[in-house]
Amino acid sequence: MLKIEDLWVDIHGKEVLRGINLHIGRGETHCLFGKNGSGKTTLLMTIMGFSGYEIKQGRISFKGQDITKTPLNERSAMGAGLLFQRPPTLRGVKLKDMLAVCRRGKDDSGLAEQLAVKYGFDRFLEREVNLGFSGGEIKKSELLQLLAQNPDLTLLDEPESGVDIENLQIIGDMIRKLLQKDIHRNRQKSGLIITHTGFILNYVAADRGHVMLDGQIYCQGNPLEIFEGIQKYGYEECVRCRQ
Ligand SMILES: Nc1ncnc2c1ncn2[C@@H]1O[C@H](COP(=O)(O)OP(=O)(O)OP(=O)(O)O)[C@@H](O)[C@H]1O
Ligand SMILES: [Mg+2]
């Protein structure tokens, strides 16, 4: 689904990603741990194709196609979707209209609206996207937009941050639907989840974990084992372990 080879990225002349390699297969969910400022969001924004992330070297392939120079809108149309760490507020755009835009050209199942009703979030459909939404409400709004878009590769930048324990279950449920976690054979959807707390992994199983430090991936393996190691020994142990 996604193959990143030796990716080097600068932001405003600052070297942020330094030789990233990452493979995510069809149907797989990976998670990404790492210190603040290590480059996790930069990686997701670069995969999506946002401007300002200057690729100095390397290659990004999505569904077997080189997308290193493909514009963001085409990557989105090909099936890449992102939950922002800090999404913008869209004044004058109602959430229900945004869902219609996200769904454009797709199967109109109305799943996003059905879930909005199921989780008592339907009154927000008439509100402007993210305007005055609480931290947890923003995450639900972002996930509804993704459910309408129905991407094949979903990039989730700290989906559980600021979400209370009860709503965590709802967020987890929405991500499970996005990543087809209830399908065990021939699952088509893939995901990459950034998490600091690891809470989301109690609801959404990940196949593989990665630790990013200082713009490089230091470790790859069983996500729960990696997370346990970070909790016990801190990121310094990742540095020592690699040496
Ligand atoms: N527009 C920018 N101008 C200058 N530096 C930037 C810019 N955007 C990001 N950076 C820097 O790039 C580095 C990586 O930032 P990034 O947001 O990718 O980190 P992160 O791993 O997602 O951190 P966090 O866990 O805090 O979200 C940071 O040092 C950040 O300050
Ligand atoms: Mg970040």
Closest atom of ligand 1 to 196 CA is: 25
pLDDT digit string, tens, across residues 84-137: 999 999 999 999 999 999 988 776 678 888 888 988 888 999 999 999 999 999
CA of 50 to the centre of ligand 2 (A): 15
pLDDT digit string, tens, across residues 138-164: 999 999 999 999 999 999 999 999 899
Confirm if 5 and 203 have CB atoms less than 8 A apart.
no
Give the residue, out of 12, 14, 195, 210, with the most ligand 1 atoms within 8 A of its beta carbon, to mutate for a pocket test. Answer: 14
Whose Cα sits closest to atom 16 in ligand 1? 39
Residues less than 5 Å from ion ligand 2, measured at CB: 40-41, 85
pLDDT digit string, tens, across residues 170-216: 999 999 999 999 988 899 999 999 999 999 999 999 999 999 999 99
CA 134 to chain centroid: 20
Strand order in the sheet with 29-34: 80-83, 153-157, 190-194, 29-34, 208-213, 216-221
Residue the block writes with tokens 């603040």: 36
Residues with CB under 6 Å of ligand 1 are 11-12, 14, 16, 34, 36-42, 85
Q: Residue 139: left if φ>0, alpha if ψ -120 to 50, beta else—which one?
A: alpha
pTM of the model: 0.95
In the chain, the amino acid numbered 197 is T
Q: Can you list the domains of the chain with their CATH numbers?
A: 29-38+79-242 (3.40.50.300)
Token pair listed for 4: 């990143």
Cα–Cα distance for residue pair 190/28, rounded to 1 Å: 5
Confirm if 209 and 30 have CB atoms less than 8 A apart.
yes
